[in-house]
Amino acid sequence: MERFARQAADALSQVLPQPVQAGQMEIPPDTKLGDFAFPCFRLAKEMKKSPNDAAKEIVKLLTDKGSVPKTLTVAAVGPYVNFTVSGAEAAHALLNDILKGEGNGEYGRFEGPSRGTWVIEFSSPNVAKPFMIYHFRPTGLGACLDRVGRYRGYRMVSINHLGDWGTQFGKLYVAMKLYGNELPPNPGIRDLVELYVKLHAAIETKPELEDEARAAFKRLEEKDPEVTAVWKKCIEISMKEFNALYEKLDVKFDHVWGESFYEDQLRPLLAKLKAEGILVQSEGAWVANVTDEKGRELTPCILEKSDGSTIYATRDVAAALYRYEKYHFDRMTYVVGGEQRLHFQQVFGVLRKMGMEWASRLEHVPTGLYRFKDAKMSTRKGNFVTLEDVWTLVKDRVRTLMKERVSLSTAAGGRDGEALSPAELADIEEKVAIAAIVFHDLAADPGREVEFDVERVADFEGETGPYLQYAHTRCLSILRKAAEAGTPLPAYSSASLSAAVDRAVGQLKKDEEIRLVKILGQFPHHLERTLEHRKASQLANYLIDLVKAYGEFYRECHVLGQAKELTEARLLLVESARRILAQGLHLLGIPLPDRM
């Protein structure tokens, strides 16, 4: 649809004083009123007219001048100039574009020179602590923005700012020294946490352990080999678990640069900041008095504590400087929990104070917490629920639902004529559980608190991940059945594809067919908006709309057993829907089972 949006923008540019970009087009909530809408509010001011009159006036100009190409019709709808693409034109262009290439195709992939470098930091869990739901939200969102950004032509650089530094590692060292021999052969994060808890209990009666821990962290800072080895071991244990999780969620990073990565840069940084007078002494500590981007005073940012140690913020200032030096990014986004809003304002404030004009390219995209409906979880504070807790809950629910489905379908003679092996079933359960958790998270507004109710999250019928996966398997199943009936969708060459699309355009006449085609064409628009608003919910909700349109098409239009050309045309439409759905789910980070 982008090309039609461009045509509409070009037509408008011919009659308006300023050129109009395709990106200014909105999609009307009711597509019966048009496929794109150009909002007239701003222009109306310049024209000294009401927006509704401005819209009418612009439509008149367009018609009088004959600027609108035949592919489009134009109408004033309230304060908007709406454009409607002819069904046949839309089907022709879109089916060709969507069905080009193999697999899921590349529809909506940005072609052209790079749109700039975008550094995105997300996930950033803490070593030796369980992966919290608190870290899951930014992981899902960050990974999605990263994938969509790449798809839409940005040079993305993804970074995991692992929490692998700080005084707690001194404690961990002491704990390991005292109780390390109690660790099982293949220790996990939980075992480390246990040691840590044990040490805390011991400190109650032996406060001198606290001093020992402080000394140990100092030794770590000084690269003492013994402490460093223990610290590395803890990172290794943690990364093993984190990596398994990232693999499951298909999350990748260009760099895992933990806080420790910047350690050597901290002293020179502090010296420079002191020399420049950016740091001042306050109660023994060194702080920067900073303001937010509007010049409002913030709580001063401590960068060196009174005992001379550096802190979280010191490492963030160093990290930003390092990353800019390395990438000269056009934008850097930190996807991190909303509780850290002040922290990022302070860090950005320090950078501004240092005269880094690029500080304006930094942004914190805050994520909200979970609120649990489940009684077992709701008693714990949102922060203290681990992803594993949620995973277990969802997995159990999915297993129950799958069992019901399998016995139902066995009673009904089996789906697609084949029973699933236990291994296949386990694989499906895993994928469905991932879909349930990821989709539920991404479909919600990232900045707000989300309510977690396992019954709703894992439902196969509601607006859920499993529902979308199921819609995809239904597309596959029709294509399979077509093949079994001897009318498979052929593997087209590019020439035969274009002939097939030509044939199909003559066949696709029903409203449900055209509506589905057009909704498929909105895919690039929603990818763009996902990036613009930094909200995966834009894409997630679009896929729900797509599946609804597909459902209406499926109800109204029989695919198999029609005249040969009609069946072929509808199969092309099924495959197009399947591709966009698959591509969209892939960008969200949702795996696709072949059957469910």
Q: Can you give the three-state secondary structure of 267-307, one letter per residue?
A: HHHHHHHHHCCCCEEECCEEEECCECCCCCECCCEEEECCC
CB of 335 to ligand ARG, least distance (A): 9
Alpha helices of 459-493 — where are they, by DSSP H?
465-484
CB nearer to ligand ARG: pick between 76 and 249: 249
Widest CA span of the chain, in angstroms?
A: 89
Cβ pair 473, 593 in contact under 8 A: yes
For the beta sheet containing 36-39, the strands, ordered from the edge strand earlier in sequence to the opposite edge, are 36-39, 80-85, 72-77
CB atoms within 10 A of CB 554: 21
CB of 305 to ligand ARG, least distance (A): 17
Q: What is the CA radius of gyration of the chain?
A: 28
CB of 270 to ligand ARG, least distance (A): 18
Phi, psi torsion values for 336, nearest 5 degrees:
-145, 150
Give the DSSP per-residue string, 140-158.
HHHHHHHHHHHHTT-EEEE
CB nearer to ligand ARG: pick between 55 and 318: 318
CB of 229 to ligand ARG, least distance (A): 23
| Tokens standing for residue 544 | 């729900």
End-to-end CA distance of the chain: 32
Cβ pair 2, 22 in contact under 8 A: yes
Relative to beta strand 450-452, strand 280-282 is unpaired
CB nearer to ligand ARG: pick between 336 and 398: 336
Residue nearest to ligand ARG (CB): 163
Instruction: Pick the closest to residue 537 from 368, 332, 360 (CA basis).
Output: 368
CB nearer to ligand ARG: pick between 126 and 538: 126
Q: How far apart are CA 571 and CA 482, in angstroms?
A: 8
CB nearer to ligand ARG: pick between 126 and 260: 126
CB of 129 to ligand ARG, least distance (A): 8
> Where does this chain bind ligand ARG (CB under 6 A)?
121, 124, 126, 161, 163, 316, 334, 336
CB of 481 to ligand ARG, least distance (A): 49
CB nearer to ligand ARG: pick between 334 and 452: 334
CB of 19 to ligand ARG, least distance (A): 39
CB of 384 to ligand ARG, least distance (A): 13
CB nearer to ligand ARG: pick between 161 and 440: 161
Cβ pair 572, 491 in contact under 8 A: no
Tell the residue number behind the tokens 């109780």, with chain if given: 179
CB nearer to ligand ARG: pick between 75 and 356: 356
